Amino acid sequence: MSTHQKPIDPELIQLEEVHKDYVCGRRRVQALRGVSLDVRQGSFVVIEGLSGSGKSTLLNLIGCLDYPTRGRVIIAGKDTSAMNDRALSRFRAERLGFIFQDFNLIPMLNAYENVEYPLRLKGEAKAQLRRRTEAALEAVGLIDMADQRPAELSGGQCQRVAIARALVSQPDLIVADEPTANLDSHTGERIVELMRSMVERFGATFIIATHDPMIACHATHRYRLRDGRMVFE
């Protein structure tokens, strides 16, 4: 993993009046009701809000896992609604990294293989695979645990593996949904500090949903959702 900064693409994320409705049978939930947001490269953006306020919905749109009902989601200059499913999944694999509250590691694979996985999906050359995977494990302080499977690691170590996996392909953007929700507060704090340090070291950009106030104090930009709308404090 190189420490060189990526060329500045000032607006990495642009949301314009984004709405998202979920329809289940006759019921319609307006999960997002006109959210606009600009995120610059190198930001550590924190989205706060109570459970049900729309944080995961927002992250799913930014992470190109779903389409908005209305409005525009533009990531690295690309309007996601102009991409079909196939193009969107390629875009995700090439440009985005994900961190989840329950880590989402593959249980049969050891730490090394979990981190290597996204590079394999991209069809990266063998020599690159090893170099990058080791660098990512090194960056999260887990090179000595490369052979351990998730069941043999603590929650904090699992989340470090997940961070290494998110960073290994040098994505433009890392999307983290409640990354500390399943960690004790001390471990959570170290995970946040680790993610924060990735901004300086690798020019990474993070967008993090949380209701952990401890994360928010590390934010470069802080927003709050309430009932699907941004509230400004």
Task: Please identify which residue in 43, 56, 114, 169 interacts with Mg ion, judged by CB under 5 A.
Answer: 56
The site partner of 129 among ligand ADP, Mg ion, none (C-beta below 5 to 8 Å per kind) is none
Task: Please identify which residue in 49, 63, 97, 188 interacts with ligand ADP, judged by CB under 6 A.
Answer: 49
Is 226 a binding residue for ligand ADP by CB under 6 A? The answer is no
Is 179 a binding residue for ligand ADP by CB under 6 A? The answer is no
**Closer CB to ligand ADP, residue 24 or residue 125?**
24
Angstrom distance (rounded) from CA 180 to CA 190: 10
Task: Please identify which residue in 1, 13, 15, 31 interacts with ligand ADP, judged by CB under 6 A.
Answer: 31
**Closer CB to ligand ADP, residue 112 or residue 206?**
206
Is 119 a binding residue for ligand ADP by CB under 6 A? The answer is no
**Closer CB to ligand ADP, residue 188 or residue 203?**
188
Burial of residue 164 (CB within 10 Å: 0-12, 13-18, 19+) is buried
Minimum distance from residue 51 beta carbon to ligand ADP (Å): 4
Task: Please identify which residue in 41, 43, 57, 101 interacts with ligand ADP, judged by CB under 6 A.
Answer: 57
**Strand 229-231 with 78-79, pairing:** unpaired
Sign of CA dihedral 55, 61, 63, 66: positive
The window from 44-52, 129-137, 141-149, 195-203 that contacts ligand ADP (CB under 6 A) reads 44-52
Task: Please identify which residue in 5, 28, 52, 82 interacts with ligand ADP, judged by CB under 6 A.
Answer: 52
Contact flags string 10-29 toward ligand ADP, x per CB under 6 A? ------------x-x----x
Residues β-bridged to residue 231: 224
Minimum distance from residue 59 beta carbon to Mg ion (Å): 8
> Please, which residues have CB within 8 angstroms of residue 36's CB and are 6 or more apart in sequence?
15, 16, 17, 18, 230
Minimum distance from residue 22 beta carbon to ligand ADP (Å): 3
What residue ranges bind ligand ADP (CB under 6 A)?
22, 24, 29, 31, 49, 51-57
